[in-house]
Structure 1
């Protein structure tokens, strides 16, 4: 360790941590502590590990995917509700509908940092259940709104409830899966299947003949569906692998041990100010933040104005709900295409595939502005949804490349704060008087998507150069692993002798 001490204060701090038993016990990652206390299960086979992985996949992933799908469906269903007469029912004028879309993300933005702090300090599964239940109640109440003020207030509260959704799923995936396994699970969890649900239910509600307005009925039906998902969350989503009720003690050990190679930790509830400062000073934090801001201009626009864009092509409201269904397949497909290289090269080429896929929405944006032929516009509209794949990929990379629980909290908060800001401003580019061509909106998407491409390139090149610097300074990562220090809640910078970034 002496040679490492000459390289700077980071290694000096690691020496202090290693030599102070009390401090080590306080900083010990909860997963590493569990392994030490249950070492009798250390002798397990690869076949056992695969069985545990399959069990996690078949129990955890369906519920998480369903939860995120329903959460995303709400943001899409407001567009279908508008097609079914919500604007007229609420007497919306001017750009009030755009603000109905934006105000959701004000609530999300305000609650984002508190939500991440709650997830750091309190049991993850229980916090997720309570927030999802509150979100469910607000969703059903939206069917009773009578004016802009009431709907705006409910959308604001809905955003506060949903602020827990994405961070929780990202934390759970980081707990249960290896870095090489995370991209596909993240792609599935944050898939675009919501459009299939909204399309089918919206089409069915559109044929309903009741005393309740169809747009109001739409919110009520979605609220009832969400009750089922909330129940599943209560019984399935765990606080951590150490307390997972549907894994026995040996399976918990295996689940934790197989992910220790991530070197990002499982859980540590101690709030560390120095990790907060390190996250703020880390260039990767802000590159991903700017990327999330740029990339989600497309999301904010399409979520709020998807139905208006399609009806502007000349389709009826009912047909619009059906034509929106394939968009989810394109969103999910783009995520899976980007994740594919991770199976063959677990630590390389993700940014390259994300960059290539990000070119697709850029091209489609130009086509949407230039084409006049109806079929060509619809095809371009579908491929526009490839914007989602790069976002899922880069958020997954951000988690894979961040060690230290407090640092993860800050990085997570920055990512989703950028997501909120982007979704707040995006609908404002789609000016009501410019319908159905929305030139200002498409020009904004074109500019911000170009910014996304630049951020992807900077992030990938930056990680490559940093890895080369560490290899040159310390040698091979595997040759420098210190198991005692690796088990502590340290950051990727503190572990730089053996931590290398995925790019």
Structure 2
């Protein structure tokens, strides 16, 4: 799951480095058109999110994931053959559509295999930002080459080739569920299922139940999560697409800009793993920790907006620390699944969650306009506003979850610690609203 996420992010974010490796000149596109290319990936993600949710409902998740990974690996290699805006737009749109399956399937697999207390750390590991370091190393190595192939084209060929090989490995080794795993004995399968019984989120059911969708749509907690996911990902769309241009705007050359972006993934992943530990350990503080984690990118956005442009070291330090922005989103990724029961409801929640993710990433590149280069002060102002909105949304979500748990405790006369989950209830395809013993994570 971690390697799949890394390759998905690499194939997605590699466009940022190609901007300083000659793709703008070779395809004759402007910086404003490049912003559109950055958004088109996530428009494809948005358009395909619901169809992918239906496919997840109908087909084994492991095999489905392997096929789509193969598809976007081939498309990444095809990107090396484009010569104009039209070709680049089509390929990026289709790549976004195929990658729409990655995070929903990983989220579902996380709930299948790990308990609620284990999910934050596991999610922080597979939902990492190491991809920027991997992309940077490969980009730098290719930047030193002198072949007959344009460097940005060679970059797509290499990364796409890695992805195709990984898809074949997924087909062979990734199980669709604990029950179908060929690597587990019958006893181990039974243990794996019993371990996650207290998650109380139901089991897979291929029958689509519309009442579960309606229940989801009228719940205010749903829309607070949607607002949070959209706002939190505006920085992701902007920074990932314009990373190379932003750093070069500080006064660094092409290879220096690539090298400077190398530690960003390490910084982000280290921060999210460190915060995932207290998030898992301290019950009832996850939303609070997520809100506090956003204070770092909040301060960095202010500095990137206000610092004088000749203060290269201050701008660079703020830029590098801003890459902790993805930590709050990673810590929150387990919330939609942990707090949703009923298979149809989980699939629908996953779709909404990643539609919001797509919307944020679509809007992000549009905040960085050509007329604002190289300072992009308007872009950093927009990122600041989005971080504030994300803090407000996740805080209110935590309050509503706490209130609902308290109400259920009073009604059932059980405490959160003592309430028992019956096996029949845990594995029935019932929603969280239909289960008196269900308690929300916040």
Looking at structure 1, the residues matched to 410 and 325 of structure 2 have their Cα atoms a distance apart, in angstroms, of: 36
Map 1:467-482 to 2 at 5 A.
Answer: 467-476=405-414, 478-479=418-419, 481-482=421-422
The 10-residue stretch of structure 1 (93-102 or 103-112) with the greater mean CA deviation from structure 2: 93-102
Corresponding residue of 1:259: 196
Matched, 1:484 2:421: no
CA displacement, residues 41-72 of structure 1 (integer Å, 9 cap, x when unaligned): xxxxxxxxxxxxxxxxxxxxxxx111100110
Corresponding residue of 2:77: 140
Corresponding residue of 2:226: 289
- Deviation of 1:479 after TM superposition, in Å, equals 4.2
Corresponding residue of 2:295: 359
Residue in structure 1 matching 2:111, options 156, 174, 180 = 174
Q: How many residues align?
A: 438
CA displacement, residues 135-186 of structure 1 (integer Å, 9 cap, x when unaligned): 1111100000000000000001101110111111111111000000000110
- Asked whether the 8 Å contact 2:198–2:421 carries over to 1, the reply is no
Corresponding residue of 1:308: 245
Corresponding residue of 1:337: 274
* Unaligned 5+ runs, structure 2: none
- Deviation of 1:94 after TM superposition, in Å, equals 5.0
- Asked whether the 8 Å contact 1:369–1:439 carries over to 2, the reply is yes
Structure 1 residues 76, 487: closer, same or farther in 2, change over 3 A? closer
Looking at structure 2, the residues matched to 332 and 94 of structure 1 have their Cα atoms a distance apart, in angstroms, of: 30
* Unaligned 5+ runs, structure 1: 1-63
Map 1:52-63 to 2 at 5 A.
Answer: none
Residue in structure 2 matching 1:162, options 92, 99, 118 = 99
- Deviation of 1:276 after TM superposition, in Å, equals 0.9
Looking at structure 2, the residues matched to 487 and 280 of structure 1 have their Cα atoms a distance apart, in angstroms, of: 23
Matched, 1:384 2:322: yes
Matched, 1:395 2:346: no
Matched, 1:245 2:185: no
- Deviation of 1:343 after TM superposition, in Å, equals 4.2
**Secondary structure, aligned partner of 1:313:** coil
Matched, 1:101 2:38: yes
Map 1:76-115 to 2 at 5 A.
Answer: 76-115=13-52
- Asked whether the 8 Å contact 1:142–1:151 carries over to 2, the reply is yes
- Asked whether the 8 Å contact 1:338–1:390 carries over to 2, the reply is no
Corresponding residue of 2:441: 502
Q: Which has the larger radius of gyration?
A: 1
- Asked whether the 8 Å contact 1:187–1:332 carries over to 2, the reply is yes
Structure 1 residues 322, 243: closer, same or farther in 2, change over 3 A? same
- Deviation of 1:321 after TM superposition, in Å, equals 1.1
- Asked whether the 8 Å contact 1:131–1:162 carries over to 2, the reply is yes
Corresponding residue of 1:493: 433
